[in-house]
Structure 1
Amino acid sequence: MLSSLLGFIVGLTLGLTGAGGGILAVPALVLGVGLSMTTAAPIALIAVGLAALTGAIDGLRRRMVRYKAALLMSIVGGVISPLGVWLAQRLPELWLMVLFSLVMFIVAGRMFNQARHTQKSGLSPHDSRAKACMVSDNSGKFVWTMPCFLTIGSIGAVSGLLTGLLGVGGGFIIVPMLKRFTNLKMHSIVATSLMVIALISAVTVINALTSHVALPPVTWPFVSFVVGGMIAGRIVAPKIPATFIQMGFASLCALSACIVLLNAFNIL
């Protein structure tokens, strides 16, 4: 029952923000269900990957996904993610938990500052200032220059490494970075992030399962409720201002970081 409730909350967060699913799924499984980080990581990826695929299909139907950028990030991230898996299998559990919490604190701070700046300045979430990757007003697609190609590829590389290392989908990196380096609207960023998460998670899950990682019985109830939460999140997301979504996600990340960090020190 607890794992189902936690799964629904994880899926709802993923549907609303395009991020946060994996970064919340791992501590939910570790602290709520009592699994280890290495056991929780592939379960989180299966759940988040399937839920993200559901959201990405919805985004494609609404023509909000920038699929070329998503494919580039996914290819680069898929190549890099096995390196993260290799590192995760060789690092102590305590180090993984501390690293995980630090990453969440950094992401929470960045997302909150971006949302607060938007509120104070009165800027629209769709900022038209010149950035590394600009969407053409005529075609609605990215204008592909070398700086744009390198920027999108680098986001994919960092996302893939953290996906393999920490068992997260990478959306918590993709969403703030796309917001910072592109002029995409927030709902398009969310849809594009979901497609990347689905593709990178699939590669990482296959790699983990071929490494003979055993899945406990709690896996499939948790996965099904994450997918259900995703569907609910995608339904209500258009009705909520993007700034509120960012602030809510930042608060959840900070709270999860505190819980994981305290639990890590209890191991000592």
Structure 2
Amino acid sequence: MLTLCILGAAVGMLMGLTGAGGGILAVPLLVFFAGMAVTTAAPIALTAVAVTAGIGALAGLRQGVLRYRAACVMAGVGVAMTPLGLWAAHQLNDRMLMLVFALLLLLLVATESLCQKKPHPKAERQACVLDPLTGRLRWTSRCSLSLMSAGAAAGFLSGLVGVGGGFVIVPALGRLSNLDMRAVIPTSLAVIALVSLSSLGSALLWGSLDILLALPFIVGAMLGMLVGRRLAGYLAAASLKRSFALVAAAVAVMMAVRAMS
């Protein structure tokens, strides 16, 4: 139980610091350090991710930086895609799911590296731009479709491998819009919470959630989220991204080796 609590704290802290990443590392941590199968670890991870992301999103809402309309658009499509992802997960064995996870982690590292090297797109090239008069996003068809696509990817991956989808949402919002990170992180957390709850509901229908194992993981994740939120203002974003990319790459290699062995 203590191990699960510590692992949950690590996941929650990552989510508090970055607005993403915790979900995609939750399952590998449970697989390696708690000895769970991917199909057992995924719903436990989703439960903790949904609760902790909800806490972070509510904090952003109180501060007035959460873009709730954008979050609802992405989450709405994501919720519709989660049953498809969950169905796909049950068509694969544990080895294949671990390989998929390793591929996702490596893709995440590659995406982060490319985003750091490429210059940020100019406002006129971004799909979703803030109106300087109202301070709200201009809702064009291009903006809506772009956000819906990001939400669909997050929802499918949430159902497939039990990730919250923040590693899709945060880069997408950063590239598609001119929102600053103070708005991107809570908006991402809101999407993660809603999509994860949907995936969790589907997992409950499949009867694959162990509540007794999930509780200590959730408690640890909640505590970690609170600590991460406090530390976020004192740490450099670039250093956090580099550190997370290194951890993700190492975990990806470990997952691939385990799947092949």
Q: Which moved more, 1:202-211 or 1:192-201?
A: 202-211
**Following superposition of structure 1 onto structure 2, how do residues 36-55 of structure 1 map, counting pairs within 5 Å?**
36-55=37-56
Determine helix, strand or coil for the equivalent of 1:158: helix
Partner SS state of residue 184, structure 1: coil
User: Which deviates further from its counterpart, 179-188 or 65-74?
Assistant: 179-188
Q: How many residues align?
A: 260
User: Counterpart of 2:196?
Assistant: 201
Name the counterpart of 2:23: 22
Matched, 1:6 2:7: yes
Partner of 1:175: 170
- Measure, in 1, the Cα distance between the counterparts of 2:247 and 2:88: 27
Q: Which moved more, 1:106-115 or 1:70-79?
A: 106-115
User: Mapping of 1:142-153 within 5 angstroms?
Assistant: 142-153=137-148
Are the aligned partners of 1:81 and 1:165 in contact in 2 as well (CA < 8 Å)?
A: yes
- 1:157 pairs, out of 149, 152, 155, with 152
Deviation at 1:197, TM superposition (A): 0.4
Partner residue, 1:260: 255
Counterparts of 1:162 and 1:136 in 2: how far apart (Å)? 32
User: Does the alignment pair 1:90 with 2:94?
Assistant: no
Return the offset for 1:214.
4.1
Equivalent residue in structure 1 for 2:239, among 227, 241, 244: 244
Question: Aligned with 2:138: secondary structure?
Answer: coil
Structure 1 segments unaligned to the other structure (5+ residues): none
Q: Which moved more, 1:52-61 or 1:257-266?
A: 257-266
Q: Distance in 2 between matches of 1:207 and 1:153?
A: 21
Give runs of aligned pairs for residues 47-196 of structure 1, distance below 5 A.
47-117=48-118, 128=123, 130-196=125-191
**For structure 2, which runs of at least 5 residues remain unmatched after alignment?**
none
d(CA) in 2 for partners of 1:112, 1:59: 27
Letter in 2 for 1:255: A
Query: CA 1:249/1:128 → structure 2, altered by over 3 Å: closer, same or farther?
Result: farther
Q: TM-score scaled by structure 1?
A: 0.92
Q: CA deviation at 1:31?
A: 0.6
1:218 shift after superposition: 2.6
CA distance in 1, matches of 2:248, 2:122: 24
Percent identity between matched residues is 40
Root-mean-square deviation (CA), in Å? 1.6
Change (3 A) 1:261 1:213: same
Q: Deviations over 1:94-148 (max 9, x none)?
A: 1111011111101111113323556xxxx7xx97563111112222211100100
Distance 2:148 2:182 in 1: 21
Instruction: Specify whether residues 240 and 129 from structure 1 end up closer, same or farther in structure 2 by C-alpha distance, changes over 3 A only.
Output: farther
Contact kept, 8 Å, 1:70 with 1:192, in 2: the verdict is yes
Look up the match of 1:222. 217
Task: Give secondary structure in 1 for the equivalent of 2:212.
Answer: coil
Contact 2:44-2:213 within 8 A present in 1 as well: no
Which SS does the other structure have where 2:163 is aligned? coil
Contact 1:17/1:249, CA 8 A, preserved across alignment: no
Using structure 2 for the length normalisation, give the TM-score: 0.95
For the residue of structure 2 that corresponds to 1:137, the secondary structure is coil
